[in-house]
Structure 1
Amino acid sequence: MEQEMKADSDLDPDPDPKPGRSLTPSAPPGRLDDHEWLVQGRGTKPLPPPLDPVGEPGEQRSRPPFMQHSVPLMTEAAARRALLRFVASRCCYGSRAAGELAVQRLRQLGTYRYRLETFSESRLSEWAFEPFTKPGAAGPPGDAPLDPWDVEVGPPPLFQGQTRRCRVPGSALVRDCHRCHGHGRSKCGVCHGAGRTRCVTCKGSRRRLKQQKRCQLCSGTGRKRCNTCSGRGSKTCATCRGEKKLQHFKQLVIRWRNNVFEFVSEHHLNFPRELLSKVSGENIFKDENVVVYPIIDFPDPEISLASQRAVAEHSAAFATSSRILRQRQTIELIPITEVHCQYSGKPYLYYIYGLENEVRALDYPERCCCGCTVV
């Protein structure tokens, strides 16, 4: 028995450019709500979900019925075509054996794959800042910011992972830039505020080495104007970009994840289970709702036990740290055909699996090293 819990990677880019984040004790926003965790260096603050869920499962509803199903019939011609396609995809497999082997028996089998998907939403709160460029746009102080879970953000399509960032309305506060202390400029780190640096040609000796002549680059002074700050001794503050003030605000980091539990029933074949997760099967059961109920009466008891375990594990893992938006459980019948054949008087066995008719062929009788020609 196998099980796997996984989550979609948050691959979607943020819709808005990220402002700078104040994550160090050197830049406390001052008198902002809940900034103690920021000063202590934790950076982000997890937000437990509200007690009231998005939707209620309600009273026990009728579950979708199990669909009538049977293993799709595999013919000798289809089995040979699948093997020829597999051989053509391998650079060192010859096609003669696939065309000449004699099929003796097709053993049609099947296995069940159960999958539970839990689409969840979690939120983190963090302080962020940006240069304050619109003095007239500052709102009146005293407005209480919204509860982070009351900020409405449209979710992505169901069962698709994504990450977004957005501001909490009413949480902005303007302060002097903590880096330049409200001056808009900071001391140059190359000349340390002097505006001049040691000449690189004479190394400050005022004369060229071995020539005892006055250095022409620095006119014999031993120092030259700093290229970094153009001789001013300071440069525009990189934090506030010369605006002298920063606008601090609460930012939500909202993550939608599709958490997956997968189980494949026992099939008693010399066949790796991980291959079955890469193919599709015939869908014989689908149940989708805010919360789904465990399956208790499936003909294969392993599937019923897997469903009960999956629902319990997902509820324990995600209900307290995130908000469950939707659940979906499915059962698929994955066809597997065991092909018994003979080639050059010797028995040979290969498998065809999935609706895509993928092939697993161990010890194929006509192989060579890459680059060699098969006779």
Structure 2
Amino acid sequence: MALRESFHQNFGTFSTEPTQGTPGSEYFPPPPYAVSDHGGQPVQRIWNIPTISEDEAQQAFLEYASSKCCYSSNPAKEMVFNDLQGFSAYRYQLETFTESRSFEWRTKPFTGRTEVPIVDMIAVSPWNVPVAIPMMFQNNTKEFMLPNTSSVKECSVCMASGKIPCKRCGGNTKERCHWCEGRGVFASDTCHHCSGTGSLTTLCKACSGLGMLNCDDCKGRGLLLTYHALVVKWKNNIFEYVAHQKDDFPAKLFQAVTGQKLFVDEQDMVYPITNFPDNSINSASRNAVESHRAQFMSTSWILRQKQMIEHIPLTRVEYSWHSKSYSFYVYGNERKVHTEDYPQKCCCTII
């Protein structure tokens, strides 16, 4: 992975600038990144806020009413439009794809040769082991057995026999009496179902009457292979922020819809956005980039970053029905509807 380099990009709408990461104590530190300044900010453009038409709003309202079993479609069909207002709603998202490495002890049943070199530990940096990077921005985990770290030992659970007593019958080969739960006593008297033995006459189904089962730890082998594993974890860390102008619209509803992508920036290391028209997006970008670098660079390798801004359509529709005023919102590319005062509902009884 090449070192991070300074870069200068002019998107025609807004610019990005470098932010210094916060250093810290590093665990299995990756190579340091070189982040430097780049050129000035490009000139901003004028942003237009799109609104939907009355026909589109009415169609969305009709589909909304049809999706509710207790809502009449009459208000959506007979509504009289008073006003349509478009509002700015922007979603900023930062994805930071990281790789972390650690050494962990592993054990598994030994099925190979009985002679394996015994080495306590080898002095090797986990970052010196070449590992292919999987698909970007998707969580993944892989493990690799390190050479010259394995040893064979007897399984302590079964004392190297490969067998353990059957838990169901306790090793006596017979089915445990379910009436007295194997105690031999039922209601303070000797259990007449098992004659006080705690076992029935039928053979145990779990062990086929053998009284022993293969050991789960060594799978009946009696030997365990212990080794040092390199555990490589890839994680896509996501920061998301939505800026919108209407306090009476629940922000959580934006999670279920998509918007129009205004800006996508994917680099080894992105720079914060600086002159987007909504300053809260600029602040969110700066905080997210600085937070991710401070959080992940001390223990992980930041392989790639991607930031995106979406414009999410949000239109407030004010209308009248039967001489009373109402309102609803249409939001997202999916034209979903949100309203808290639908004018005509019926009472449904489900039999």
TM surpasses 0.5:
yes
Ranges in structure 2 where 5+ consecutive residues have no aligned partner: 1-25, 185-191
User: Contact conserved, 1:69 with 1:284, CA < 8 A, in 2?
Assistant: no
Matched, 1:94 2:76: no
Q: Deviations over 1:35-64 (max 9, x none)?
A: xxxxxxxxxxxx9342315x6556637889
Q: Deviations over 1:5-63 (max 9, x none)?
A: xxxxxxxxxxxxxxxxxxxxxxxxxxxxxxxxxxxxxxxxxx9342315x655663788
Matched, 1:274 2:269: no
Q: Secondary structure at the match of 2:256?
A: coil
Aligned to 2:283: 305
State how far apart, in whole Å, the 2-side matches of 1:188 and 1:304 are.
64
State how far apart, in whole Å, the 2-side matches of 1:171 and 1:359 are.
61
Distance 1:61 1:190, change over 3 A: same
Q: How far did 1:82 drift?
A: 0.8
State how far apart, in whole Å, the 2-side matches of 1:62 and 1:157 are.
34
Counterpart residue identity of residue 225, structure 2: Q
Deviates most, 315-324 or 163-172: 163-172
User: Contact conserved, 1:146 with 1:169, CA < 8 A, in 2?
Assistant: no
Aligned to 1:48: 27
State how far apart, in whole Å, the 1-side matches of 2:128 and 2:29 are.
10
State how far apart, in whole Å, the 2-side matches of 1:301 and 1:282 are.
19
Aligned to 1:258: 236
Distance 1:223 1:102, change over 3 A: closer
1:124-203 equivalences under 5 Å are: 124-135=102-113, 140=117, 144=122, 147-186=125-164
Q: Deviations over 1:78-112 (max 9, x none)?
A: 11111111111111111111011111221122222
Equivalent pairs, count: 309
Ranges in structure 1 where 5+ consecutive residues have no aligned partner: 1-46, 206-214
Matched, 1:322 2:300: yes
Q: How far did 1:252 drift?
A: 3.9
State how far apart, in whole Å, the 2-side matches of 1:247 and 1:313 are.
42
Distance 1:292 1:347, change over 3 A: same
RMSD: 3.8
Q: How far did 1:169 drift?
A: 3.7
Aligned to 1:13: none
State how far apart, in whole Å, the 1-side matches of 2:174 and 2:260 are.
75
Distance 1:238 1:304, change over 3 A: closer
Q: Secondary structure at the match of 1:265?
A: strand
Distance 1:122 1:133, change over 3 A: same
Q: Secondary structure at the match of 1:105?
A: strand
Counterpart residue identity of residue 256, structure 2: K
Q: Secondary structure at the match of 1:311?
A: helix
User: Contact conserved, 2:96 with 2:237, CA < 8 A, in 1?
Assistant: yes
Distance 1:113 1:239, change over 3 A: closer
Q: Secondary structure at the match of 2:281?
A: helix
Aligned to 2:23: none
State how far apart, in whole Å, the 2-side matches of 1:67 and 1:249 are.
60
Q: Secondary structure at the match of 1:115?
A: strand
Percent identical across equivalent pairs?
36
State how far apart, in whole Å, the 2-side matches of 1:163 and 1:364 are.
49
Counterpart residue identity of residue 109, structure 2: P
Q: Deviations over 1:182-220 (max 9, x none)?
A: 333446668877x6789979x9x9xxxxxxxxx9x99xx
State how far apart, in whole Å, the 2-side matches of 1:65 and 1:154 are.
41
Distance 1:196 1:102, change over 3 A: closer
Counterpart residue identity of residue 329, structure 2: Y
TM-score by length of 1: 0.69
Q: How far did 1:346 drift?
A: 0.8
Deviates most, 229-238 or 152-161: 229-238
TM-score by length of 2: 0.73
Distance 1:99 1:144, change over 3 A: same
Matched, 1:359 2:316: no
User: Contact conserved, 2:44 with 2:275, CA < 8 A, in 1?
Assistant: no
User: Contact conserved, 1:68 with 1:284, CA < 8 A, in 2?
Assistant: no
User: Contact conserved, 2:313 with 2:331, CA < 8 A, in 1?
Assistant: yes
Deviates most, 74-83 or 353-362: 353-362
Counterpart residue identity of residue 176, structure 1: E
Q: How far did 1:173 drift?
A: 1.3
Matched, 1:348 2:308: no
Counterpart residue identity of residue 58, structure 2: R
User: Contact conserved, 1:66 with 1:284, CA < 8 A, in 2?
Assistant: no
Q: Secondary structure at the match of 1:338?
A: strand
Distance 1:65 1:358, change over 3 A: farther
Q: How far did 1:272 drift?
A: 1.1
Which residue, 267, 292, 298 being the options, matches 1:289? 267
